[in-house]
Amino acid sequence: MLHNREPDWYEHRMFKDANVSVHVLSKGCPEIDRTLLFRDRLRTNSADRDLYEQTKRELARRDWKYVQDYADAKSDVVERIIARARSAQVGRGD
């Protein structure tokens, strides 16, 4: 079921059911590369994966008026993890 629609942000759509959230973005959108870089970093770096898990658990204990407030609260950690992933790519010559 369509849960969220943001046509002004890369035509973002989020479909959600009880167990899964699926985000859809426009073809060629730069956010796709950022998202995959973040995903891959969490898959391969246990320290960043643990940091992200800890951050999400801490934030989940709070009450949020809007879900976006929760997303904004974790954005600093997400950006730091993405920055480390980019640095690791440069170090490998990717």
Residue-wise pLDDT tens digits, 5-17: 888 888 889 898 8
Whole-model pTM: value is: 0.81
- Residues 42, 46, 49: CA angle, nearest 5 degrees: 45
Q: Report, as ranges of residue numbers, the positions in the chain whose pLDDT lies below 70.
A: 93-94
The pLDDT assigned to 85 comes to 97
The pLDDT assigned to 2 comes to 75
Strand order from edge to edge, sheet including 12-16: 2-6, 12-16, 21-24
